[in-house]
């Protein structure tokens, strides 16, 4: 049994315990252990009922994802569950933590399920590009009804134990000791016959009782929301099989569908995203024994939209935060933004009045900098001006306690220069939140040349504590995300100057799966922002192309984007939906003419290639310069901060699927045609020549660290 599953008997109840840290995933050892333990329980004539429970922080959290794509090793999970299903003695699954994926499927193969009140149950496989493949799509609709099962399987979000009880997924909630409660429950049902088996239920899957068109609508809806991923629609097909086929045929159909899914690039991409996110939390030279500093109280300097959003992030997780600005009117404005944001969440039913009051109560506004003396962390979020930031940091240096972390939310400026304004650059770090800070999951953690390891370790831990995905990056203009974004936008703008229209560029990129196209995103962020920055910078020398020409013209006309109801598109008052604008087309045609560019038909393929390859080439340069630790970190940045579709795995994963020799060949061709902005990355050249991938690069780095 390899020690991961144990069997014992207490009076007449057999107890099967899974102990496979960290999350009791169903690796081969657990599967064979479960099989063997059941055999023992059935063979022991003193056992009248069985409890299946887990040690550690959670019930079984799913199949072992690391085994996917490798040759399967017996026993298969389906066979293990079939054995539990066929048990002649009642089995009670005792759920705590999270019963996810294969874990919930094991529980569905038991006769009864009891749960701790704070447990969660779910079938999140869709988020890995697959579907529940061990009977979940066949059993769940039988137990809780088709519509609820579709919600859980196609949406992938877990539900609370309370909800699970209310829909019949769980038979009882156990307050207090779960094992004792489960034993008592098992004893109470030990003699009951026939044994309830989910596979035998029919009432919920009677086609006559289902809403006509239910599956077609569900599939349409899944397609609409999946940004081109096919996994969600496949989940609908599997549930449909539960209604249209006998149980065993349904299981076979589920198997066929999951095998198709596992082999798909989409699922490989989504599994990559899952592990990439977890790998990003590991910093090779900052081991887990580096001490972290407690962050019990925080402060944010600058009560603008960004500062207000950051303050909310802390308040949301119970950390009191002081919001500081120069004038009371600025502070009040920030507090107002916060109240409005929380109010909107409450109206949507996602926050109670009491919880909103508690969170708002954790935020205090002030103009008095003396309030900063006691905080553990300060995040500066004023506008991007080096002089101002240095002045603030020099002031913080004098005011804050010795071990306080001094962080800047700069998105472009040199963190080392900011740190140099203090006497403690080792305490200074960049914490780059993405707008809106209370919504976006990404946090770029910018390590300065002198940032200490405990400050890095604390920041990485903090990211997790505040519900963000932290990615450690190095100092350079724009760090990882915005530096790449710059290249992506540049290419989108060149394509527009050459003959494409904003709607075509955006259609191609949303067709690829981006949440928004580059032009609609510029309208959302405000065209004036980049315009002001460009105005302060020297124009490119003659002979070099300038990508800002169209955006500058729009901004000069007061077309700042959504905030002025006009930008690359026009917007009806109060609406955020971009509408094509003939006026913009005229402006673009005029700008092309002034630039001496003869407009041409631009093919969709060219748009995709140039936008994507610009991202990839810059990503490779970033990797080569060690600004990012891994290619997978770059993917994590793009998926969590820029709406990159997770079913494409991120720009670097996507590059591997295209093939690096092909990417390089096109980058070189573009360099020939468009000049030095397309200078290929040395790393890209090296990897392509050696027939290696970015994934190989990551593995080799890991091996050498
Ligand atoms: N397989 C393998 N490893 C897993 C895993 C899984 N299913 N789930 C988590 N892990 C690993 C993580 O990679 C991480 O490893 P490292 O410490 O080496 O980085 C470790 O377990 C802890 O994970 P988290 O950092 O995510 O811990 P958490 O406490 O924040 O979250 C969790 C725990 C909610 C269970 C979360 O890990 C999670 O959502 N896991 C995935 C659950 C899932 O998708 N299950 C379905 C699997 S597919 C399936 O079951 C198919 C089927 O039908 C047979």
Q: How does pLDDT run across 10-60, given as a tens digit for each residue?
A: 999 999 999 999 999 999 999 999 999 999 999 999 999 999 999 999 999
* Ligand 1 geometric centre to CA of 78 (Å): 20
Strands 442-446 and 428-433, sheet pairing: antiparallel
* Ligand 1 geometric centre to CA of 322 (Å): 35
* For range 242-268, the mean pLDDT: 96
Instruction: Look at residue 471 and give its three-state secondary structure.
Output: strand
Bridge partners of 473? 446, 628
- Whether 498 is in the pocket of ligand 1, judged by its Cβ within 6 Å, is no
Backbone angles phi, psi at 233, to 5 degrees: -65, -35
Please report the sign of the dihedral spanned by the C-alpha atoms of residue 266, residue 268, residue 269, residue 275. Answer: positive
- Whether 22 is in the pocket of ligand 1, judged by its Cβ within 6 Å, is yes
Q: Which residues of 334-346 are buried (b: 16+ CB within 10 A; e: fewer)?
A: bbebbeebbeebe
* Ligand 1 geometric centre to CA of 6 (Å): 22
Let me know if 105 is a catalytic residue.
yes
Question: Taking phi first (over 0 means left), then psi (-120 to 50 degrees means alpha), and beta for anything else, what does residue 695 get?
Answer: alpha
Give the DSSP letter string of 518-575: HHHHHHHH-HHHHHHHHHHSPPPPTTS--TTHHHHHHHHTT--BGGGTBSSSB--TT-
Report the 10 Å Cβ neighbour count for 554. Answer: 26
Q: What is the pLDDT of residue 705?
A: 63
Backbone angles phi, psi at 489, to 5 degrees: -65, -40
Nearest to 612 by CA among 534, 467, 505, 535: 505
Would you say residue 623 has pLDDT above 50?
yes
Q: What is the pLDDT of residue 178?
A: 98
Q: Which residue among the candidates 8, 48, 67, 105 is catalytic per the annotation?
A: 105
Give the DSSP letter string of 52-104: EEE-TT-S---B-GGGTTSPP-SSPHHHHHHHHHT-SS-EEEEE-SEEETHHH
- Whether 66 is in the pocket of ligand 1, judged by its Cβ within 6 Å, is yes
| Paired tokens of 638 | 């793009």
| Paired tokens of 154 | 């196609």
pLDDT category of residue 166 using cuts at 50, 70 and 90: very high
Atom of ligand 1 nearest to the CA of 105: 53
- In the numeric block, the tokens 């959302």 are attached to 524
Q: Which residue among the candidates 8, 36, 125, 498 is catalytic per the annotation?
A: 125
| Paired tokens of 445 | 């953690």
Q: What is the pLDDT of residue 1?
A: 42
Helix 146-155 / helix 136-144 crossing angle, nearest 10 deg: 140
- Whether 649 is in the pocket of ligand 1, judged by its Cβ within 6 Å, is no
Backbone angles phi, psi at 558, to 5 degrees: 80, 10
Q: What is the pLDDT of residue 529?
A: 83
In the 8-state DSSP scheme, what is residue 208? G
Q: What is the pLDDT of residue 538?
A: 85
Query: pTM for this one?
Result: 0.92
Cβ pair 10, 32 in contact under 8 A? no
Let me know if 702 is a catalytic residue.
no
pLDDT category of residue 85 using cuts at 50, 70 and 90: very high
Give the DSSP letter string of 154-203: HH---EEHHHHHHTTSSSEE--S-HHHHHHHHHHHHTT-SSPP-GGG--G
- Whether 80 is in the pocket of ligand 1, judged by its Cβ within 6 Å, is no
Report the 10 Å Cβ neighbour count for 204. Answer: 20
What's 399-457 look like in SS3? Answer: HCCCCCEEEECCCCCCHHHHHCCCCCHHHEEEEEECCCCCCCCEEEEECCCCCCHHHHH
Q: How does pLDDT run across 344-369, given as a tens digit for each residue?
A: 999 999 999 999 999 999 999 999 99
* For range 549-564, the mean pLDDT: 96
Nearest CA to ligand 1 atom 40: 61
* Ligand 1 geometric centre to CA of 100 (Å): 9
Q: How far apart are CA 512 and CA 490, in angstroms?
A: 18
- Whether 63 is in the pocket of ligand 1, judged by its Cβ within 6 Å, is yes
Nearest CA to ligand 1 atom 54: 102
């Amino acid at each position: 049994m390899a020690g991961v599953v144990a069997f014992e008997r207490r009076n007449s109840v057999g107890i099967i315990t899974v102990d496979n840290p960290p999350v009791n995933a169903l690796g081969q050892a657990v599967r064979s252990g479960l099989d063997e333990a059941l055999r023992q329980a059935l063979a022991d004539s003193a056992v009248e009922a069985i409890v299946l429970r887990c040690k550690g922080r959670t019930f079984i959290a799913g199949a072992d994802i690391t085994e996917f794509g490798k040759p399967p090793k017996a026993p298969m999970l389906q066979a293990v569950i079939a054995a539990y299903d066929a048990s002649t003695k009642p089995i009670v699954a005792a759920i705590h933590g999270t019963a996810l994926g294969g874990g919930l499927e094991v529980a569905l193969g038991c006769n009864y399920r009891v749960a701790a009140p704070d447990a969660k149950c779910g079938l999140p496989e869709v988020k890995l590009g697959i579907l529940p493949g061990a009977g979940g799509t066949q059993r769940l609709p039988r137990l809780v009804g088709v519509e609820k099962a579709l919600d859980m399987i196609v949406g992938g979000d877990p539900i609370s134990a309370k909800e699970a009880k209310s829909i019949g997924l769980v038979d009882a909630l156990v307050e207090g000791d779960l094992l004792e409660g489960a034993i008592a429950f098992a004893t109470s049902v030990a003699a009951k016959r026939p044994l309830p088996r989910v596979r035998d239920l029919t009432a919920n899957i009677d086609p006559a009782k289902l809403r006509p068109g239910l599956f077609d609508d569900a599939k349409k809806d899944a397609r609409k929301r999946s940004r081109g991923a096919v996994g969600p629609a496949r989940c609908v097909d599997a549930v449909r099989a539960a209604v249209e086929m006998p149980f065993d045929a349904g299981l076979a159909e589920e198997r066929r569908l999951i095998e198709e899914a596992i082999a798909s690039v989409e699922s490989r991409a989504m599994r990559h995203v899952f592990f990439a996110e977890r790998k990003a939390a590991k910093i090779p030279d900052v081991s887990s024994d580096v001490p972290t500093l407690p962050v019990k109280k925080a402060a944010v300097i600058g009560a603008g939209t960004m500062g207000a959003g950051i303050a909310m992030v802390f308040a949301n997780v119970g950390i009191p935060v002081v919001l500081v600005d120069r004038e009371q009117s600025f502070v009040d404005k920030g507090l107002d933004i916060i109240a409005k944001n929380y109010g909107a969440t409450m109206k949507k039913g996602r926050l109670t009045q009491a919880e909103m009051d508690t969170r708002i109560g954790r935020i205090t506004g002030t103009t008095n900098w003396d309030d900063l003396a006691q905080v553990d962390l300060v995040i500066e979020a004023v506008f991007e001006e080096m002089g101002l930031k240095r002045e603030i940091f020099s002031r913080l240096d004098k005011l804050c306690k010795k071990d306080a972390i001094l962080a800047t939310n700069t998105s472009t400026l040199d963190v080392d220069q900011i740190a140099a304004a203090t006497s403690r650059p080792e305490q200074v770090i960049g914490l780059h939140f993405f707008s809106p800070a209370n919504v976006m999951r990404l946090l770029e953690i910018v390590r300065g040349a002198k940032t200490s390891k405990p400050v890095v370790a604390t920041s990485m831990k903090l990211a997790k504590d505040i519900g963000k995905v932290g990615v450690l990056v190095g100092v350079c203009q724009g760090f990882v995300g915005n530096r790449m974004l710059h290249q992506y936008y540049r290419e989108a703008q060149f394509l527009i100057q050459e003959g494409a229209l904003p709607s075509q560029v955006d259609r191609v990129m949303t067709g690829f799966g981006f949440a928004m196209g580059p032009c609609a995103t510029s309208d959302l962020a405000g065209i004036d922002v980049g315009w002001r920055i460009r105005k302060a910078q020297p124009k490119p020398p003659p002979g070099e192309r300038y990508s800002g020409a169209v955006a500058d013209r729009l901004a000069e006309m007061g077309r700042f984007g959504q905030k002025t109801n006009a930008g690359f598109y026009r917007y009806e008052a109060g609406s955020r939906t971009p509408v094509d604008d003939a006026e913009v087309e005229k402006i673009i045609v005029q700008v092309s003419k002034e630039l001496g560019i003869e407009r041409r038909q631009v093919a969709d393929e060219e748009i995709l290639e140039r936008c994507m390859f610009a991202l990839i080439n810059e990503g490779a340069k970033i990797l080569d310069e060690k600004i990012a630790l891994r290619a997978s970190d770059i993917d994590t940045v793009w998926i969590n901060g820029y709406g990159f579709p997770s079913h494409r795995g991120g720009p670097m994963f996507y590059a591997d699927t295209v093939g690096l020799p092909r990417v390089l060949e096109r980058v070189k061709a573009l360099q020939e045609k468009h000049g030095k902005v397309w200078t290929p990355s040395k790393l890209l050249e090296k990897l392509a020549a050696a027939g290696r991938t970015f994934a190989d690069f990551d593995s080799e780095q890991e091996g050498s660290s």
